[in-house]
Amino acid sequence: MGQKPPVVPFRWAINQDLLERGIRLLCRPVARLCLTLSVPIQELHRIFKELYLECAIEELSESLGKEPSVRQLSLATGLHRKELAKLTGKVTEEIEQRSYWITRLFGQWEGDPQFQTGRGEPRALTYRGEGNEFAELVKSVNADMEPGSALNELNRMRLVKVGDQKVSLQRLHFSVSADSDAFFHLLSDQIETVIESLAESSYGDIEPQHHHLRTEYDNIFLDEIPAVRAWIEREGKKLHKRLRLFLAERDADVCYEPSRGAGGKVVFTSLSLASPIEDEEESAT
């Protein structure tokens, strides 16, 4: 028997009342964020229509194997043909590069013996001259990426330490500024991963199920919050390091085995929120 087609969100068979409640719940955090950023409702409406059309073009192009017609787009989105004609020219066709390459590069740096010390730790790499080690690392992850641009971005995000001759890994997680594109790309990636994971586990027929756990306590002693954050940060790094090593042994970019099929995607994301943030700000003033 052939593989079942992947679960596509807008093809779920969901009761209409439940669907409306679900959309409200999903959009509430976005609505709050837009209010915080003072985005007018008219602007939000325009953006969402363009985005809705963009997603429809991507989904239909993949399922049809060709660019969808205006009629097909109208049926899928509910947008009138005249409106589609205006919007189609504005919709971006280029899928922007996400932060995935950083995660893959870290995994390669930490998991490939070629870039490790004798103790199995990610070692400092040369980055100058023809065929330098950092360029080899970047090309092993993405052959089309320019090593100099990758190094500048990692250095800007303070993920690496650049010396006179070598570059070393500073930390295995990255933070972004809320006023940068990276912030919204990362937020989008996180939301999309959660939706896909829960959807396939709930509506798909897969075994074993995707991992999804949530732990929440709401009456922690306030003076313990800093210690809780530090513990989660420390143990989270350990867990992700173990996972990267585990996956590197099964990744075709690290283990060259041309006879085996590859291309499977694995995403494991973790985050924490140990509040109250507001109380901390008040106590600092």
Give the predicted TM-score (pTM) of the model.
0.57
- Report residue 65's pLDDT band, with 50, 70 and 90 as the boundaries: confident
Shared domain for 109 and 81, answered yes or no, is no
Residue 129 lies inside a defined structural domain of this protein: yes
Q: Is the pLDDT of residue 91 over 60?
A: no
Task: Report yes or no: 257 and 226 within 8 Å, Cβ to Cβ.
Answer: no
Q: Looking at 29, 54, 88, which one is the last position of a domain? A: 88
* Mean pLDDT across the chain: 80
Query: Which one-letter amino acid corresponds to residue 268?
Result: F
- 81 vs 44 pLDDT, higher one: 44
What pLDDT digit, counting tens, does each position of 170-197 carry?
865 555 555 556 677 778 888 888 888 8
- Tell me, yes or no, whether 216 and 275 share the same domain: yes
133, pLDDT greater than 90: yes
Question: How much of the chain, in percent, has pLDDT values that exceed 90?
Answer: 19
Q: Show which of 57, 88, 119 is a domain's final residue.
A: 88
DSSP notation for 62-87: HHHSSPPPHHHHHHHH---HHHHHHH
pLDDT value at residue 6: 37
Angstrom distances, CA of residue 143 to CA of 154, 262, 266: 17, 17, 20
Question: At residue 26, does pLDDT exceed 50?
Answer: yes
Highest mean pLDDT among 39-53, 164-178, 196-210: 39-53
User: Does any domain span residue 3?
Assistant: no
Same domain (yes/no): 43, 113: no
Assess whether 106 and 80 both reside in one domain.
no
Same domain for 105 and 83? no
Same domain, 13 and 84: yes
Are 272 and 244 within one domain?
A: yes
Q: Could you tell me if residue 280 is inside a domain?
A: yes
Do the Cβ atoms of 197 and 9 come closer than 8 Å? no
Full domain range(s) for residue 116: 100-169
Q: Is residue 203 part of a domain?
A: no
pLDDT at 241 over 70: yes
One domain, residues 117 and 80: no
For residue 185, being part of any structural domain is answered with no
The verdict on 76 and 109 lying in the same domain is: no
Q: How many domains does the chain have?
A: 3
For residue 252, tell me if it sits in a domain.
yes
Residue 59 has a CB neighbour count (10 Å cut-off) of 16
129: left (phi over 0), alpha (psi -120 to 50) or beta: left
Assigned domain for 148 exists: yes
Picking from 154, 169, 184, the residue at the C-terminal end of a domain is 169
Q: What three-state secondary structure class fits 272? A: coil
Q: What is the DSSP letter of 125?
A: E
Is the confidence at residue 254, as pLDDT, over 60? Answer: yes
Sequence-distant (≥ 6) Cβ neighbours of residue 247 within 8 angstroms: 107, 111, 266
> What Cα–Cα distance (Å) separates residue 167 from each residue in 147, 174, 220?
12, 17, 41
Question: Is 95 within the bounds of a domain?
Answer: no
| Rounded Cα–Cα distance for residues 151 and 62 (Å) | 33
pLDDT at residue 62 greater than cutoff 70: yes
